[in-house]
Amino acid sequence: MARPAAPRAHESAAAKRVVRLAGVNKWYNDFHALRDIDLEVTQGERVVFWGPSGSGKTTVLRCLAGLEPVQSGTMEIAGVKKEVGPLVRPVPTPGVGMVFQSSSLFLNMRVIDNLTIGLRGVRKMHKREAEAVAMHNLAKVQMSDFAARYPRQLSGGQQQRAEIARALCMDPQIMLFDEPTSALDPELKHEVREAIVRLAEDGRTIVVATHEAGLVRGLEPRMVLMAEGTIVGESKAERFFGRDPR
């Protein structure tokens, strides 16, 4: 007799909560970008924010990362209770790494130098130790052979994988991905998608904002459905797309 499947992270009563948003509201001047957002994410969970452009997916991720402040509500991320209010300034959230839609690698620096700059500047690591950490994380995304190259010498997919390795160097508890494959052609989308799936399989908490069904394949996430700045529902991927999302 087959054993029952192990419970997913968000289904386990003992799972550790790493994100809690309660009644979160975000404005850009008069534009109400996020409306009463309530959300919990547990350690090791895979969550996809799904919705059309302008639905608030990216804004949620930027608020989680501390790149945008929120005006009201409660935000607890990776053990940090974030300040909220109309006068709060953005402060990066410790324990959170983010990969953006477009590459932000420094073009005049080799890949390995892009990865070590934060370790040496923030963590005050010695160069040799920082380079060992960088090579370890490049190996995770199958980029070890590209450490000495410059970003212009990389394909779009390779640049995105280098971005993932750079975020991993700071050992984040939560990894955020904002439309990480939307600017790539189909073959390069596959490269980046596989790298994200491998991270999820390692047990890291993964939160992705996307409107591409192909990125959802393999993650088997909890889908949080958004429209006009609100969470309008949740779904399992296989129920939302059927058995073969594309």
Query: Are 140 and 199 a contacting pair, CB within 8 Å?
Result: yes
- Residue 139's φ and ψ, nearest 5 degrees, are -65, -35
What's the chain's Rg over C-alpha atoms? 18
Percent of the chain beyond pLDDT 90? 72
Tell me how far the alpha carbon of residue 197 is from its chain's centroid.
12
Report pLDDT digits (tens) over 176-215.
Answer: 999 998 878 888 888 888 889 888 888 899 999 988 887 7
187 Cβ neighbours under 8 A, 6+ residues apart: 157
Contacts 24+ apart (CB under 8 A), 118-126: 118/166, 118/169, 118/170, 119/169, 119/170, 122/170, 123/170
Instruction: State pTM to two decimals.
Output: 0.88
pLDDT reading at 50 higher than 50 = yes
Q: Which is higher by pLDDT, 220 or 60? A: 60
Say what the pLDDT of residue 128 is.
96
Number of residues in the chain = 246
Please state the rounded mean pLDDT for residues 42-46: 95
Residue 104, helix vs strand vs coil: coil
Percent of the chain beyond pLDDT 70? 92
